[in-house]
Structure 1
């Protein structure tokens, strides 16, 4: 789940389909919608995640965007010596700053793993805060913990920045021949290469 949640947060910066970049967290409504979509992943790191979307406000949005910047900075670091996502060329923190931002967010709420095993259901683990905290701090801590677990885990070595034209996503390389984050990016890359070959040939 940490991989899914960290990639989902990073993926709120995406290609808009028209050659530009879209930000799914550009306003509070966007944040609330994203939190509803990610409820299942968030549930592993916090209880009462259903409240997050209802509690979304501008300060919560700014906190999540700041965490996303740290995550994308460390994703860019993780894919070296490959290039980072083209969306991040002018907005990255220094890696130490990004690490500190994640650690500070995670430390705002001490978390402990808790086991639940309802009768007739599968056992599940969740991270729960050991003391009272507002939704904003609980959400920041949950996202930071997920990012830290992913970055410290083995899947980080398979992290890549999609090289397709206009794509700005990071993805996990699932098999040796995978080059792009999704098939549509592969199609777009092949079309671009075909166009470039023919344009170069015409000019020659």
Structure 2
């Protein structure tokens, strides 16, 4: 099962040997991530060309979403990637809501001659591609956080991991097998070093 868009968005910050790695560190990274998620974003990847200002706005939105995710996993610890640099909860909530509301949507009915009717959601007003992209990301975060998966949202506790994930089964503690192995190895090292 593919992770929800909001979760994939927060996972554009990952752990590396040198510390957190940001998939959105430059416009090429943003273009690649949008192309990989174009269907969920309602963006034509072939014509999407991000500017530096759009990249900065998307990164700021990601920080706001990560702040909301940090609140959702409480009383557990938030992801260590950027916990100290996240906006305050009230600011993050206002930013996500304002971004989602900037592009009101309406249902649209398409009825191709060779098939049945299909409903889609389209912007109700003319908007820029930038606003539409950010609104899609903010709306995905709102839907995720208001949905049932929020209760299973966790921050991976493995050393150096910065990922939020949805707990798929009761015994799952880490975002991946690799993180579980790293956490067990670190625990083993601490126990044997202390003893």
- Could you state the TM-score of these two structures normalised by the residue count of structure 1? 0.87
Unaligned runs of 5+ in 2: none
Query: 1:168 aligns to what SS in structure 2?
Result: coil
- State the shift of 1:42 in Å: 1.6
Distance 1:110 1:27 in 2: 29
CA distance, structure 1, for counterparts of residue 189 and residue 114 of structure 2: 57
1:15 corresponds in structure 2 to 15
Distance in 2 separating the partners of 1:4 and 1:153? 11
Count of residues paired in the alignment? 195
SS of the residue aligned with 1:93? coil
Q: For the residues of structure 2 that align with 1:175 and 1:123, how far apart are their CA atoms?
A: 38
Match of 2:80 in 1: 86
Cα gap change, 1:170 to 1:34, in 2 (>3 Å): same
Q: Does 1:189 align with 2:183?
A: yes
After superposition, what is the alpha-carbon deviation per residue over 1:35-60, rounded to whole angstroms, capped at 9, x for unaligned? 011112223xxxxx115862211111
In 2, are the aligned partners of 1:69 and 1:93 still within 8 Å (CA)?
A: yes
Where in structure 2 are the equivalents of 1:133-148 lying within 5 Å?
133-148=127-142
- In structure 2, the CA distance between the partners of 1:192 and 1:105, relative to structure 1 (3 Å rule), is same
Kept in 2, the 8 Å contact 1:32–1:53? The answer is: no
The DSSP-based 3-state class of the residue aligned with 1:54 is coil
Match of 1:173 in 2: 167
- CA RMSD, 1 decimal: 2.3
TM, length-normalised to structure 2: 0.91
Deviation sequence 1:1-32 (CA, Å, 0-9, x none)? 9961101110011101x141101111000000
Cα distance between partner residues in 1 of 2:8 and 2:127: 24
Is 1:59 the counterpart of 2:53 in the alignment?
yes
Q: Is 1:36 aligned to residue 30 of structure 2?
A: no
- Checking the alignment, whether the CA contact within 8 Å between 1:3 and 1:150 is kept in structure 2 is no
- Using a 3 Å threshold, how does the CA distance of structure 1 residues 21 and 155 change in structure 2: closer, same or farther? same
